[in-house]
Amino acid sequence: MLTFAGKGYSPEFISNFDRIAGLIASGAQSVEIVLAPDDICAPLLGDPTCHCRNASLSERDRFAAEALVDLLHQPIDQNAKVHLTPEILARMRAAFAAGTTRKACNGCQWSPTCDGIARDSFRETRLLCG
């Protein structure tokens, strides 16, 4: 989410992610942690081979949750709700850019894209908060 730039996805996915990012950025919606494909993945779920269903994503989600516990000062468990304030997003972006929360990125095809976005101070991202 920190590096979403609308690249390489279907128009439906991009539109849906932009809508969700807008809700988060406006403060109108907290993020709920789920152990399954989430609302962001909704446009892809009609395809039984979509990457949102890959078993490797469960491990990545676990690594991401572990990395965020210290940043958010709260447990990151199923059904936890996180309100992403500009301050929290700034801490998350700083940690991501420093590489301290990147264990979940190991083996991800988007890592080079995300690396570039982080090096460019997240200017290209579509979640414009903070």
pTM comes to 0.80
d(CA 89, CA 48): 32
Q: What is the pLDDT of residues 17-56, one digit of tens each?
A: 888 888 887 877 788 888 778 898 899 888 888 878 777 7
- Averaged pLDDT of the chain: 84
DSSP 80: -
